[in-house]
Structure 1
Amino acid sequence: MILVTGGAGFIGANFVLDWLAGGGEPVLNLDALTYAGNLETLAGVEGDPGHRFVHGDICDRTLLERLFAAHRPRAVVHFAAESHVDRSIHGPAAFVRTNVEGTFTLLEATRAYWSALPQDERETFRFLHVSTDEVYGSLGPDDPAFTETKTYEPNSPYSASKAASDHLVRAWHHTYGLPVLTTNCSNNYGPFQFPEKLIPLMIVNALAGKPLPVYGDGLNVRDWLYVGDHCSAIRAVLARGRVGETYNVGGWNEIANLDIVHSLCTLLDELRPDAAGGYARLITHVTDRPGHDRRYAIDARKIGRELGWKPAQTFATGIRKTVQWYLDNPRWVANVQSGAYRDWVARNYAAREARQ
């Protein structure tokens, strides 16, 4: 059995579904079900004897100890995190609690469990920590892409809290010998993503005829990774990664935010035509967010060289799959658009004056 934290969130739930569909061993899925945790995403494994869901918090040491003792996982795959930059600007305390204190508590509970295992089980046990490229800071237009040895320069409360968690994971390996692995991924997109992130927000707003808010000039560049490819990378790292190593995971797709939005409008014009004259008319530039990093780019050569991994999706194929999924699943979208979500969108964008 493997223990997955945050397995009802976007990336975690996609990983659980992918893992079980691929014939992986049973999953013990621990999630606190905050606003972005959604059990409906896991409906496909409801009743599956290989999936055991536990509603709980990684900051709860007593619960963690009980789960380790009862289920004896052979690995931990740690997704649980607060992950949205804008939310971290409005409320950084939750990010420090979950991403820093939660990771610390999980590491300590894992260390206690791992230390008591028989020697052969200790040697095969793994703790895989899923992190982000945002810990590396911002790149200039001509700077080389992030490698695993890039200096950490986080610029938001979110990225600072993830950087702290990365450092804790590293320290628990070097100090205590805990067999850890770390992945730093680029921007994920795909099915089941909560519509506060760029791609699902634009799809949902466009279909509703609402403005498509683009920060600043829209030329902030990100590397885009289809979530299914991310799941396959995590499988590879868990199976074959060298203990104590970090692996950057990217899609080799550097694209400006404004170009992403135009691509989505073009796809929606094709797949769900807009009688009012095309979705691009809804694009609205709004005041940029504080500390907005200009460019991220992932150098994913190490994971390719050492583990033979590469993304299966191009951006063109991945974004088409994603748009089609949102068109085919209006019920899921409607159900996640709770009052709390609408309040958040209103609070975040109401204060940003439109730029014409």
Structure 2
Amino acid sequence: MKLLVTGGAGFIGSAVVRTAIARGIEVINLDKLTYAACLDNLASVADSPLYHFEQADICDAGALCDIFARHAPTHVMHLAAESHVDRSIDGPDAFMQTNIIGTFQLLQAARTAGVARFHHVSTDEVFGTLGATGQFTETTPYDPRSPYAASKAASDHLVRAWGETYDLPVVLSNCSNNYGPYHFPEKLIPVVILNALAGKPIPVYGDGMNVRDWLYVEDHADALLRVLSDGATGRSYNIGGENERTNIDLVRHICALLDAKRPKDTPYAKQITFVTDRPGHDARYAIDPTRMRTELNWRPSVTIEEGLGKTVDWYLENAAWWQALQKRDGVGVRLGKR
């Protein structure tokens, strides 16, 4: 296998690249290097003979054609995407371009190259919101409620259409919320950790009762490589962490971990501040992981308690990494208020 990973300098993409190279897979990392990318995420593999980097925009058909011709990948894993919901509310244009047009251009390039497999990585947000009970399955109707979710839903439909119309050997996966080391510091868990350490208010949207299923990023990378190698062509797989928590419970748990690991005079939970909710904020996400268990014999290995402990430790030990990223555009600023 020779694997082209798009978005390999991002949070999930870099975890896939590191895991794949550790398993002896040759990887071409194609990344535009937008504000959320960080090549430091790949320092541990940068000198590997199995690693190649190409800076390019997936919307650039000519660049894609050149990269496919020079590297001749046999497999593609497509993770490149604009992914921050709040940013999609303020500026949806980039999401439409990258997530929809970029996916179209990549499908065309992969089709021309005749790849053996095209794995499209998506999100559970395409399914909309759940009530107090129930879970998303692979057959749940799409009901996206943010510009980000709508752009990912569109890209999912494009991938399925290219599979049906052009016999491109596609496979899809939709994941729950990821967390772990190298998480860009505009997302909930890093925001909580870093604001707590800085003595700033820890923002919680609305009443904090929104529920998410949390998936440790290294578990997700393992699952993605399983889907890539063993998933059935044309099939879709929901990947969940089996770790549902309300946002407020999650935030309080992180504060308690910081109380133990980096104690100060007052509990970190006193910094929690409830703020105006995000427009269209989905109430609950939950993944039914039955297909991953029964067809691919995969389950997550990291509990939310274990994963949050590892994540807090990593941020405490890697201040130079996140301090550099905090200087990037929009980081630390409240976005998505419409």
Aligned pair 1:312/2:301, yes or no?
yes
Shift of 1:33: 0.6
Partner of 1:80: 80
Shift of 1:267: 0.3
Shift of 1:341: 3.8
Distance 1:85 1:346 in 2: 14
Partner of 1:348: 335
Letter aligned with residue 125 of structure 2: E
Long gaps (5+) in structure 1: 115-121
Partner of 2:112: 112
Letter aligned with residue 131 of structure 2: G
SS in 1 for 2:284: coil
SS in 2 for 1:29: strand
Alignment map for 1:237-276 (pairs within 5 Å): 237-275=227-265
Higher mean C-alpha deviation, range 13-22 or range 302-311? 13-22
Partner of 1:149: 139
Distance 2:272 2:33 in 1: 32
Shift of 1:46: 2.0
What is the aligned counterpart of 2:172 among 178, 182, 201? 182
Partner of 1:97: 97
Aligned pair 1:138/2:129, yes or no?
yes
Distance 1:337 1:200 in 2: 11
Long gaps (5+) in structure 2: none
Cα deviation code 1:94-119 (max 9, x no counterpart): 000000000000001111111xxxxx
Partner of 1:52: 52
What is the aligned counterpart of 1:289 among 278, 285, 305? 278
Distance 1:265 1:347 in 2: 21
Alignment map for 1:223-234 (pairs within 5 Å): 223-234=213-224
RMSD of aligned Cα (Å): 1.2
Shift of 1:206: 0.5
Q: Which structure has greater helix proportion?
A: 1
Alignment map for 1:154-173 (pairs within 5 Å): 154-173=144-163
Calculate the TM-score normalised by the size of structure 2.
Answer: 0.98
Cα deviation code 1:47-78 (max 9, x no counterpart): 21111111110011111111111111110000
Aligned pair 1:129/2:120, yes or no?
yes
Distance 2:301 2:327 in 1: 34
Partner of 2:318: 329
Partner of 2:187: 197
Distance 1:335 1:43 in 2: 15
Shift of 1:348: 2.2
SS in 1 for 2:112: helix
SS in 1 for 2:195: helix
What is the percent sequence identity of the aligned residues?
Answer: 57
Distance 1:347 1:250 in 2: 28
Distance 2:288 2:128 in 1: 14
SS in 1 for 2:54: strand
Alpha carbons 2:35, 2:328 under 8 Å: kept? no
Distance 1:347 1:145 in 2: 30
Partner of 1:20: 21
Calculate the TM-score normalised by the size of structure 1.
Answer: 0.93
Alpha carbons 2:3, 2:28 under 8 Å: kept? yes
Distance 2:250 2:264 in 1: 18
Shift of 1:22: 2.4
How many residues were matched structurally? 337
Shift of 1:132: 0.1
SS in 1 for 2:329: helix
Distance 1:257 1:347 in 2: 17
Distance 1:274 1:175 in 2: 60
Partner of 1:117: none
Shift of 1:26: 1.0
Letter aligned with residue 213 of structure 1: P
Shift of 1:347: 4.7
Cα deviation code 1:264-286 (max 9, x no counterpart): 000000111122x1100100000
Letter aligned with residue 12 of structure 2: I
